[in-house]
């Protein structure tokens, strides 16, 4: 296959970190800040749809990533009434298999990604009463976080054709 390696079967990807606190700043101004919960980086691929968004929102709200009274991972973000900070991150689709300059050809176009990122945040806010904060699409952001655990995972949406 000739470079660049463009994959057509990519799906929406999240990197989720359990945090004791996190914030995102643009131009030295904090635009989103949470005090414990989940920091969610969102990578959007060209074929992503509303079905991917719905599946991922359901998944992150129900994942048991927080300890119960006995120290077992039995509680979800919803159970503990935690907060969510959502940040767009097209670099989750960087292709570095050839050369030293990453290719971004596997990420969705900026127009499509902006629309789906906004839909992700809007639908998350409609689905839960939890605090939901966000970064700014296509901005240079400074993300400050304290990873709790550390607990970090990658969640890909299933193929929902």
Is 91 marked active-site? Answer: yes
Q: State how many domains the chain has.
A: 1
Using CA atoms, how far apart are residues 58 and 135, in angstroms rounded to an integer? 21
Domain that holds residue 93: 30-156
| Spatial CB neighbours of 114, under 8 Å, sequence gap ≥ 6 | 137, 138
Q: CATH no. for residue 128?
A: 3.50.80.10
> 16 in a domain, yes or no?
no
Using CA atoms, how far apart are residues 99 and 101, in angstroms rounded to an integer? 6
Q: List the catalytic residue out of 91, 100, 120, 138.
A: 91
Question: Encoding tokens for residue 7?
Answer: 């994959």
> 12 in a domain, yes or no?
no
pLDDT digits (tens, 9 = 90+) for 102-129: 988 889 999 999 999 999 999 999 999 9
Is 81 marked active-site? Answer: no
How far is residue 144 CA from its own chain's centroid? 15
Give the per-residue pLDDT at 160: 57
Q: List the catalytic residue out of 90, 128, 137, 159.
A: 90
0.85 cut: is pTM over it?
Answer: yes
pLDDT digits (tens, 9 = 90+) for 44-78: 999 999 999 999 999 999 999 999 999 999 999 99
pLDDT digits (tens, 9 = 90+) for 88-107: 999 998 888 888 999 888 89
pLDDT digits (tens, 9 = 90+) for 34-50: 999 999 999 999 999 99
Q: List the catalytic residue out of 17, 41, 66, 89.
A: 89
């Amino acid at each position: 296959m000739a470079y660049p390696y463009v994959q057509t079967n990519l799906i929406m990807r999240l990197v989720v970190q359990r945090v004791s606190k996190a914030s995102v700043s643009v131009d030295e101004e904090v635009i989103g800040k949470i005090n414990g919960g989940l920091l969610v980086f969102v990578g959007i691929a060209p074929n992503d749809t509303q079905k991917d968004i719905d599946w991922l929102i359901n998944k992150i709200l129900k994942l048991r990533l927080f300890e119960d009274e006995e120290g077992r991972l039995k509680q979800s973000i919803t159970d503990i009434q935690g907060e969510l900070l959502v940040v767009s991150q097209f670099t989750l689709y960087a292709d570095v298999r050839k050369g030293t300059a990453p290719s971004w050809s596997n990420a969705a176009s900026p127009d499509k990604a902006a629309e789906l990122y906004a839909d992700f945040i809007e639908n998350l806010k409609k689905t839960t009463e939890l605090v939901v904060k966000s970064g700014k699409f296509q901005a240079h952001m400074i993300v400050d976080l304290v990873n709790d655990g550390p607990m970090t995972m990658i969640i890909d949406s299933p193929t929902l054709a």
